[in-house]
Structure 1
Amino acid sequence: MEDSKHQEPKVFISYSWSSLEHQTMVKDWADRLLADGIDVKIDIYDLKEGDDKYAFMESMVTDETVSHVLIICDSQYKEKADTRNRGVGTETQIISGEIYSKVQQSKFIPILCEFNELNEPILPTFASARIGIDFSSLEKTNKNWEQLLRLLYNKPRFTKPTRGKAPSFLNEKADIPSGEIRAKYELLKQSIFSNNKNIKLFRNDFISSCIEFADALRVREQPNNDTFPEDILNTINKLKVVRNFLSDWLLLESGINHSVEFTESVTNLLEQLRILKSRPTDLSRFSDDWFEAHSVFVYELFLYIVASLMKTERYDLLHEIYTSSYLNPEIERFKGYDYDNFSSFYGNTKHAGRALSKDMNFHSNAAEIIKREADRNDLTFNHVVEAETITYMMSIIQLSSWHPGTLGYSNYTHRSPFFVKAAQHKNFQKLAIITGIKTVDEFKQIIEKNSANNLFNYSGRSYGRTPITKEILNLDYLDSIK
């Protein structure tokens, strides 16, 4: 809890009577501080005839209820302070003694009114190393007034976050450098900005570097049973660099490139991601459990791809993703099963549960991991939940299998913002582009028919409720407002 002196700031203003103009300016600042709720102590208001001005100065500087002392610094103040001349000189002796004897030195704040020919602030010697606030002109005063108020009220614009625990993957002996991905991304980004005719080559190089990085982290020998749960989490954490760079790329290019070639690059990427979930071709002895880390990674990345395209409003590309067929990895193909739909990107892990919690069973370990790894400001966990809502909707429409684990973290009355907005006709048209269903009546009929008796394929026991498809999709209100 904050100190009361910070909740109700009390300020003493120390200044030199340099001129009537300077005194008037300081008085205006005092009045402005008072108007902003600051308890101001200044001689022109608080020192009366018969008072001992030196006792007043000392009491103001040493008073523990005074949270801050504003030192109004100009050339006259510096001269009197350095020569210990008159009233300012007396204050200087008291202030400098306080500064060098007290641990909490932030009580004394220089207000910078003048700068020398080298553009250095004119400060008394005792405050020469202290950081001040620039009030050297009317424009600077207005610009930096909020900074002063935040300081006095102890309400900084930026608050240092709480230090967390060191990531567990740092305990591992070696790591795979991701510098190549960054280098390839920077080349691609410059190519996008300059509309380079060779953009396809740069994009392919970038995507290949991401896939190669992820492939190098695939399990190729029997894991240690004791460390395997933690190994899964470590691998997913390492793969986050791929998730982030691919998301950055889509956020950058998808909003400006509507070419067929770009669309194909996205669907081709998804096909390559599908391979990462399967066993490497050079393995003859294996267990499917070995590949759980990449199963979760592909699931997570698919949702981030959807979230990125939702943010750039590429509803046409989302339709392509949800309606395309994806060539299965060669080792998983057999007659009649050469291709699969988007549901093949879903993934989960049973073994990571022991590393996630010793006391709690999560209904979806993968969703819990995705939530913990959601640390982007531009693509938050809420964006991921919305992406999974869209994906789950498409699985209902296409009668595909998709377990919407992240929706378990939304409250009972949750409705996706996208579907709330789809109550307006113009926004329902965006939904129509994604689904390929043109009318709201047809959309409702398909959803209600396909989800009958199976609104959600889980009980919600870990979260205390069962979400309802109609509510999440805002089904009763879609396309109801013109």
Structure 2
Amino acid sequence: METKKVFISYSWGLQEHQEKVREIGTRLMSDGIDVILDQWSLKDGHDLNFFMESIVNDNTINKVLIISDKNYSLKADGRKGGVGTEAQILTPEIYGNTQQEKFIPIVFERDEENKPYLPTFLKSRKYIDLSTEEYYEEEYENLVRNILDAPQIRKPKLGTIPSFITEEKQHDSKTYFQLKSLDNQLNKNPLKVDSLTNDFLSIFLDNLWNFQLVNTPRSIGEFGELLINNLSSYREMRNDYIEFLLKVTKNEYNLDVERLISFFEKSSLYKKPRDFGENIRSYYEADFENFKIIFQELFLYTIAIAYKNNNYNLVSDLLNSGYYFSDVTGRNTELEKFYQLYSHNQNLENYYKELENKITGFGHYVITNLNSNISKMEIIFADTLNHYISELQSKNYKKWFPTTYLYKDEYRDFDFFIKLTSKRFFDKVKGIFNVEDVESFKALISNYQQVVEKENRSRPTYGNWHSIPFIFEAVKINKVATER
């Protein structure tokens, strides 16, 4: 960075004032700024007027600092003494020079009404305020940044015009139009959150049938391509769901979890044709694999968003409540847990393995199609949390496997498990583990660890590759709730 040069203009007065001016000049010099100040630059015998005129017209001077106190203000307006002469020289420069940022007023003193002392020709200018000790350091930093052209807040780089403006594209989803009025309705009546949620989710479920696969090919490549294109065409509606969820899961709205539970319970309806038994007598299970993927992904986003919004009670209810799924024949079954929404999605797995040699199909799909409002680590955490809770709950083989964990940053830990050392945080999230206190939580983890060790279980892995730590390895159990 090139050395900047400044000239300090001020009014001679009390010795204390001159020392204060000299201190600023000295400090600027120590900060790498070359300062022209009469106290060390003006020699005996120099013509004062010529010195001032030459400084103002010197192109090597980057800034002129005009230090204004009561004395300077009165003399400049009255055109008295050396200050008056300087004012006559500076005024046309300030008003006529297009580069007006060269002249920086610095307020040294304020009047009885706390108004800054500034001469008339400077009253409309933005100034640096060094009149109070409280903000002195902050304002001094602003001055240095101004001189060095190093603003604390830089103007962002100009980007490109958004594609939704330049592209001929219409968003005709009914969920989109429902979403557009949601904010306004919630602001008017927050108590309507449950009914508005019902309306949105009903429209979403109805529109979801538009994406049913028909006459799917049997080859892995052709089916996989059809499946990916189908999921891509549905993505806008998925993004509507995510934006909707970001709004209604805020704690201030107190959303009834039953609205979301009922929504996911209806996923079982999407395992067979809508009018099965009436006009359709048979179907291929693969024709509904997209719906399995859709509901699994939506649940993942639901947990991630509820946690992002600090709605820990909602996360707890979603992970610990019973779900009343019906089977493909329409018969009711026993209450199940959320991990019934997890599916291996064999065709998606086969397609990505054959096409791109990916270890996990669903994990690759989720990570490569992330919504911009949710980070990679947020979705991986939700996936991992689902896995841990299912491990603690499930007594059989059916569990939630965190397919996205493979994409976790190797040396980055989840904040959730680190923050469990805080009693305040633990008290907020303990419901996620369905426990009442620290002792119950420790017992839960300890009992699980004993079962794992007794059965000689190995860490869950992706084939023979990357493994997923057990929860008792992720949680520092002896440090839980030991800090404030």
Same fold (TM over 0.5): yes
| CA distance 1:327–1:312, shift in 2 (3 Å) | closer
**Which consecutive residues of structure 2, in runs of 5 or more, have no partner in the other structure?**
217-221
Mapped partners of 2:74, 2:270: distance in 1: 71
Aligned to 1:321: 318
1:175 Cα deviation (Å)? 0.7
Instruction: Say whether the 8 Å CA contact 1:61–1:69 is kept in structure 2.
Output: no
Q: TM-score, normalised by structure 2?
A: 0.66
* Aligned residue type for 1:341: K
Give the count of matched residue pairs: 438
**SS of corresponding position for 2:298:** helix
* Aligned residue type for 1:242: Y
1:361 Cα deviation (Å)? 5.0
Which of 445, 454, 475 is the matching residue for 2:447?
445
Instruction: Say whether the 8 Å CA contact 2:8–2:36 is kept in structure 1.
Output: yes
Larger Cα-atom Rg = 2
Aligned to 2:247: 248
| CA distance 1:175–1:424, shift in 2 (3 Å) | closer
Q: CA offsets per residue over residues 333-376 of structure 1, 9 Å max, x none?
A: 55575764212444799879999xx9895842244146x43436
| CA distance 1:227–1:141, shift in 2 (3 Å) | farther
TM alignment of 1:310-459, pairs within 5 A: 311-314=310-313, 317-328=314-325, 332-335=328-331, 340-346=336-342, 363=360, 364-369=363-368, 372-375=370-373, 381-399=376-394, 400-423=398-421, 433-436=431-434, 438-447=440-449, 449=451, 453-458=457-462
| CA distance 1:446–1:136, shift in 2 (3 Å) | closer
1:33 Cα deviation (Å)? 5.6
1:392 Cα deviation (Å)? 1.4
**SS of corresponding position for 1:239:** helix
Mapped partners of 2:479, 2:33: distance in 1: 55
| CA distance 1:359–1:221, shift in 2 (3 Å) | closer
TM alignment of 1:101-116, pairs within 5 A: 108-111=103-106
* Aligned residue type for 1:402: W
Aligned to 1:196: none
1:174 Cα deviation (Å)? 0.7
* Aligned residue type for 1:252: N
1:404 Cα deviation (Å)? 1.7
Q: CA offsets per residue over residues 352-410 of structure 1, 9 Å max, x none?
A: 9999xx9895842244146x43436xxx5544443333211012123433232443343
| CA distance 1:188–1:156, shift in 2 (3 Å) | same
Instruction: Say whether the 8 Å CA contact 1:184–1:205 is kept in structure 2.
Output: yes
| CA distance 1:24–1:387, shift in 2 (3 Å) | farther
Query: Are residue 281 (structure 1) and residue 296 (structure 2) matched?
Result: no
Mapped partners of 1:418, 1:398: distance in 2: 20
Mapped partners of 2:22, 2:341: distance in 1: 65
1:214 Cα deviation (Å)? 7.1
Q: CA offsets per residue over residues 2-29 of structure 1, 9 Å max, x none?
A: xx14xx7x45245453976996598288
Mapped partners of 2:343, 2:205: distance in 1: 16
Query: Are residue 163 (structure 1) and residue 156 (structure 2) matched?
Result: no
Aligned to 2:196: 205
Quick one: percent identity of the two aligned structures?
14
* Aligned residue type for 2:446: K
1:432 Cα deviation (Å)? 5.2
Aligned to 1:174: 170
Q: TM-score, normalised by structure 1?
A: 0.66
| CA distance 1:47–1:439, shift in 2 (3 Å) | closer
Mapped partners of 2:409, 2:366: distance in 1: 15
Aligned to 2:258: 264
**Which consecutive residues of structure 1, in runs of 5 or more, have no partner in the other structure?**
193-198
Farther-moved stretch of structure 1 (232-241 vs 22-31): 22-31
**SS of corresponding position for 1:41:** strand
Q: CA offsets per residue over residues 79-106 of structure 1, 9 Å max, x none?
A: 87xxx97334445666778x54x7xx75
Mapped partners of 2:201, 2:26: distance in 1: 56
Mapped partners of 1:22, 1:235: distance in 2: 74
Instruction: Say whether the 8 Å CA contact 2:7–2:55 is kept in structure 1.
Output: no
1:241 Cα deviation (Å)? 4.2
Instruction: Say whether the 8 Å CA contact 2:65–2:105 is kept in structure 1.
Output: yes
Query: Are residue 304 (structure 1) and residue 304 (structure 2) matched?
Result: yes
1:290 Cα deviation (Å)? 5.0
